[in-house]
Each structure stands twice: as structure tokens, then as C-alpha cells.
């Protein structure tokens, strides 16, 4: 995997977290590419975020938990709509009927 150079300037001006996000995404892809189960990688990353945020500061941990809860609830609604739309595509409906999940 090619590692992208990140400079001090990237980190110090990373107001919206894009450099940090890019590093997390790269690490997740690398771990999954090494054969690790995606669900375990994602849970481990969330657990690490919780652990390090509480180690850093209780206030920051609280902000993170509140933000994560709101983001997760919002994304869950969006994801359910995406999945519903996909399930209703003709080829998927035919497959679901074939395997007996719908009439």
C-alpha cells in the first residue's frame, strides 16, 4: 500500500479532520486488505475512538459521544432508505422471491 506523506502543516490546519479521516480510511482499507473482517475492523476503530477520547478529556469524550449518536441516527435513516430502494429494484425483488423472502 502506498503511504501518502502528511506534513505538520496538514495536521495543524486540519480543522475539519480530513487528514485524520484519510489516515483512518487508509488504515481500515489496509487491515481489510490483510484479510481482517470488516465488521471487526470498524468496531475496533469505534472502540479506539471512544477509548482515546475519554483518555484525552471527559468533555471531548462527551462531545464525541453526542456527535457520534446524532451522526449514527441520521445515517441509519439514510441507509435504511438506500437499502429499501435497492430491495425494490426488479432484479433484487426477483432474487428475494426466488429465495422465498417475499411472495
pLDDT digits (tens, 9 = 90+) for 67-87: 999 999 999 999 999 988 988
Q: Confirm if 75 and 83 have CB atoms less than 8 A apart.
A: no
Nearest partner of 41 among 54, 53, 61, 24, judged by Cα? 24
The residue among 45, 20, 21 whose CA lies nearest residue 31 is 45
Collapsed DSSP state (helix, strand, coil) of residue 87: helix
Q: Say yes or no to pLDDT of 34 above 70.
A: yes
Report the largest interatomic distance among the alpha carbons of the chain, rounded to a whole angstrom.
59
pLDDT mean over 44-56: 92
Phi, psi of 13 (to 5 degrees): -105, 10
Mean pLDDT for the chain? 87
User: Per-residue pLDDT for 1 more than 90?
Assistant: no
Confidence band for 90, pLDDT divided at 50, 70 and 90: confident
Amino acid at each position: 500500500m502506498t503511504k501518502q506523506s502528511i506534513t505538520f502543516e496538514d495536521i495543524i490546519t486540519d480543522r475539519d479532520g480530513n487528514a485524520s479521516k484519510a489516515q483512518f480510511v487508509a488504515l481500515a482499507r489496509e487491515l481489510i486488505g490483510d484479510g481482517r473482517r470488516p465488521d471487526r475492523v470498524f468496531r475496533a476503530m469505534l472502540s479506539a475512538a471512544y477509548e482515546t477520547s475519554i483518555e484525552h478529556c471527559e468533555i471531548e469524550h462527551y462531545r464525541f459521544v453526542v456527535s457520534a449518536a446524532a451522526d449514527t441516527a441520521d445515517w441509519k435513516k439514510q441507509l435504511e432508505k438506500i437499502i429499501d430502494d435497492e430491495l425494490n429494484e426488479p432484479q433484487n425483488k426477483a432474487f428475494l422471491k426466488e429465495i422465498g423472502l417475499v411472495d
